[in-house]
Structure 1
Amino acid sequence: MNRNQKQFVYIFILIIIIGMSTSCSNQNARDPSTVRIAFFPNITHAQALIGKAEGQFQKELGETYTIQWKEFNAGPAEIEAFFAGEVDLGYIGPGPAINGFTKSLGDLVIIGGAADAGALLVSGKDVQIENVQALAGKKIAIPQYGNTQHLALINLLNENGLVASSKGGTVEIIAVANPDIKTLLDSGEIDAAFVPEPWGSRLIIQIGAKVVLDYNKVFRDGQYSTAVVIARKEFVEENPHIVEKFLKAHIEITQYINSDLKHAKQVVNDEIKHLTGMEVELEVLERAFERLVITYDPQKGSILSFANLAKQAGFISTTPEIEQLIDLTLLNKVLKEKQLEEIK
């Protein structure tokens, strides 16, 4: 191959590489007419499920924008999608939200609440655990390290003079997916579990798990956040009108749920079945919603407590400033326009 031929080959390869890079860049670039919303197929994300099924968010945004729904099953995966610029708004637990804010150096912010309470501590049907002190020497499962239930469990251990075995104590804490927690608790391979709804009710009804502490005893007398709404700070700053419309629909769906819970539960369950192929059993659904509060208030005090616990456990290096982590400016603007009480 002569020199001219070599130069031609190099130029050809360079053109291909540039073309591929441009293609990838175009695929990752955000279409300004598309709003990407993350959610879980879980009852704690009820507003997202109803809004997706019945179209309230799309109706509020109008024909100018198209909603692209992004389904996730775990907080870390959703946070990574935010980091990659693949999501604009999302429903998620406060634990991952705090972690995402810290790791992104403030690029992810909480802009509203979605659900409160709905977590409980249960033991196996043949295990004698009457109180938190009895967890000494026991093995307890949580769905994920650093999530809401894990942080609330750390608080319970602190209050009762107990320490996790990973820190030199006697309580062994393991992270297990919710479906596997049911199997392990039923077989006796774990002694207890700290889980969110609907898994708490499912464990009680299906395998005879016993309630050690109910939702209103595990943390702050039940006044704690279970799900929040987060957004990319850049997206909020560049598109406040879109975020306002989203929050308006979010508030209205919240009001609808609380005014017609019977119908709302059915819509939620139908959408879960549509997404996962399996509906939540009726008795489980009923009991689960009894332990949940569907809201747009993020319970700022509880989030600050979770942030302090996350730092104590080593999940984050510094406790974030609450006013930077939670920005309710647009939520309160919409609440004021609707003549509803603003959140302090």
Structure 2
Amino acid sequence: MPGQLRLTPYEGVSSRVQREHPTRLVPGHWGDLMPGIEVNREVSADLKKMLIPISLMVIASLAVSCGGDDHKETTSATTRAAGASPNEFPDLGPVTLHLGYFANVTHAVPLVGLNNGIFAQELGANVTIDPKTFNAGPDVITAIFAGELDASYLGQSPAVNGYVQSDGHDVRIVSGAASGGAALVVKPEITEPAQLSGKRIASPQLGNTQDIALRNWLKQNGVPAEENGGDVKVIPTANADALTAFKNGDLDGGWAPEPWATRLVQEGGGHILVDEKTLWPNGQFATTVLIVRTNFLNDHPDTVQKLISANVKTVQWIKQHTEEAKTLVNQQIEAVTSKALPKAVIDAAFPNVEFTYDPIQSSVETAAKQAYDLGLLQDNPDLADLFSLDILNIVLAKQGLTAVSR
């Protein structure tokens, strides 16, 4: 296996970008998080032309595959007849891929894939991977807008916000990575929603996926946050700091992703009041998705296809090698934080997350509506162009996997 990649914690947008693109306020409470940077607004016509013959292959393959095993030979023939043999984008030459992710169990796909060599193998010698770690999604979007990231794993709510802040142009969700793995953990004496009145509850960052989930749940249960007319103090706090504050009695709870939810229980003495998967149909919701900067998708579709292929293969590998995956995740968490998780923590946290390349589009749309209802988005967004799943379905077809649809 290749050695671990050098991991670079993200330290914010460069002074040059801040100087040339001062932060602008935009409608909604998230506005002060986003730099006002104009980027290419559409997926290029050239990329669309490149996708047409390959998409025809996927459609033809899916149409035949519905008939069952008797049509395997027909499927193969139809694929060839559809002119889909160029199911690889042409290699456009050397490129550096600036890739973001978090040191969380919900980001096991990049943590594993960067560690066991799947990403390096799939991306190939022409792609230099520059990994950067983050605490929460809004910082990722800031870096995307600044052109300092090309792709990133993050939660669904910041992905939606980046799309909205750029008028639907600068961000595309190209795959899923994880579902589940988030919970509201509180002090033992808090056993029902009404007891949260006046309490201090952490979320990882204003506008991130858990922040929206927390605020929506509080509102739905009659104990809204102060910003929504109630008296619950929602305090955006980095996950590590939230654990310390919870143990010290400075916080009464937190809505956190894994492994932090488990750590709040095991190390902080809390208990789970809400497992977020109980709030969603079939217990499935997008916790982690893979986004790509639209300009990068236009300019380097070959690299994006390789990245998505690495993502899909890593998801499959994790499902088949759970114990090894836990070890690799813990190695990467230690590389980022200088401290590995106790075995009891990662053993308890890992089963709470379902790893999937499906971005679970319906859950993203629901979360966007929740953000709108909370007043965090001025308009109810149309997310029709947020999802760019053609390349994902090309990759899935090549690997003999079922296509993803809404």
TM normalised by structure 2 equals 0.73
1:258 counterpart (319, 327, 331): 319
Amino acid at match of 1:110: I
Which residue, out of 113, 116, 130, partners 2:176? Answer: 113
Partners of 1:63 and 1:290 lie apart in 2 by 34
Pick from 29, 34, 39: which aligns with 2:101?
Answer: 39
Report the Cα offset of residue 248 of structure 1. 0.9
Match of 2:162 among 97, 100, 111: 100
- 1:341 is displaced (CA, Å) by 1.0
Corresponding residue number in structure 1 for 2:268: 207
- Matched residues in 1 for 2:125 and 2:247: separation? 50
User: How far apart are residue 35 of structure 1 and its match?
Assistant: 1.9
C-alpha displacement at 1:275, in angstroms?
2.6
| C-alpha spacing 1:256/1:181, structure 2 compared with 1 (3 Å) | same
List structure 1 segments (4+ residues) > 6 angstroms apart after TM superposition. none
Q: In structure 1, what is the equivalent of residue 351 of structure 2?
A: 290
What is the aligned partner in structure 2 of residue 319 from structure 1?
Answer: 380
DSSP-derived class of the 2:385 partner: helix
**Cα contact 1:121–1:194 (8 A) shared by 2:** yes
Partner SS, residue 35 of structure 1: strand
How many residue pairs get aligned? The number is 315
Q: What amino acid does structure 1 have at the position aligned with 2:144?
A: F
Partner of 2:84: none
The residue that corresponds to 2:116 in the other structure is: 54
Aligned to 2:287: 226
Structure 1 residue matching 2:318: 3-state secondary structure: helix
SS in structure 2 at match of 1:207: coil
- The structure in which a higher percent of residues are helix is 1
Worse-matched range after superposition: 135-144 or 221-230: 135-144
Instruction: Give yes or no for the alignment of 1:176 onto 2:250.
Output: no
Once the two structures are superposed, the pairs formed by residues 113-152 of structure 1 within 5 Å of their partners are 113-125=176-188, 127=189, 129-152=190-213
> TM-score, normalized by length of structure 1?
0.85
Q: Which amino acid aligns with 1:312?
A: D
Q: CA deviation at 1:263?
A: 0.5
Alignment deviations for residues 148-193 of structure 1 (CA, whole Å, 9 cap, x no partner):
1121122222332332222221322221222222233223333222
Q: Is the contact made by 1:124 and 1:188 (CA closer than 8 Å) also made in structure 2? A: no
CA contact (8 A) 2:104 2:257 kept: no
Offset at residue 73 of structure 1 (A): 2.6
**For 1:324, what is the secondary structure of its paired residue?**
coil
Q: Which whole-Å CA distance do the structure 2 matches of 1:59 and 1:318 have between them?
A: 42
Task: Report the CA distance between 1:121 and its aligned residue.
Answer: 1.2
**Any gaps of 5 or more consecutive residues in structure 2?**
1-15, 21-92
Match for residue 133 of structure 2 among 71, 75, 89: 71
Asked whether the equivalents of residues 226 and 234 of structure 2 are also in contact (C-alpha less than 8 Å), the reply is: yes
The alignment partner of 2:201 has SS state of strand
Aligned to 1:15: none
- For residue 196 of structure 1, what is the aligned residue in structure 2? 257
In the TM superposition, residue 221 of structure 1 has moved relative to its aligned partner by: 5.4
1:316-336 superposed Cα distances (whole Å, 9 cap, x missing partner): 322332321111111111112
Following superposition, the deviation at residue 258 of structure 1 comes to: 0.6
- Displacement of 1:78 in angstroms is 1.8
Determine what percentage of the aligned residue pairs are the same residue.
38
Q: Helix, strand or coil: the match of 2:263? A: helix
Distance 1:179 1:276, change over 3 A: closer
Give the number of the structure whose alpha-carbon radius of gyration is greater: 1
Distance (Å, rounded) in 2 between the aligned partners of 1:321 and 1:32? 36
Say whether the 8 Å CA contact 2:179–2:356 is kept in structure 1: yes
Change (3 A) 1:228 1:215: same
Cα distance in 1, alignment partners of residues 138 and 277 from structure 2: 27
What is the one-letter code of the residue matched to 1:309? Q
Is residue 120–residue 218 contact of structure 1 (8 Å, CA) maintained in 2? Answer: no
Q: Distance in 2 between matches of 1:210 and 1:158?
A: 21
- Bigger mean CA offset, 214-223 vs 177-186: 214-223
Give me the whole-angstrom Cα distance separating, in 1, the residues matched to 2:387 and 2:380.
Answer: 13
CA contact (8 A) 2:94 2:126 kept: no
- Alignment counterpart, residue 88 of structure 1, candidates 150, 156, 160: 150
Native 8 Å contact 1:119 1:218 kept in 2? no
Does residue 240 of structure 1 match 2:306? no
Cα deviation 1:56-76 (Å, max 9, x = unaligned): 222122222222222223322
Change (3 A) 1:207 1:162: closer
Equivalent residue for 1:166, pick from 222, 227, 232: 227
Supply the distance in 1 between the matched residues of 2:280 and 2:255 (Cα, whole angstroms). Answer: 12
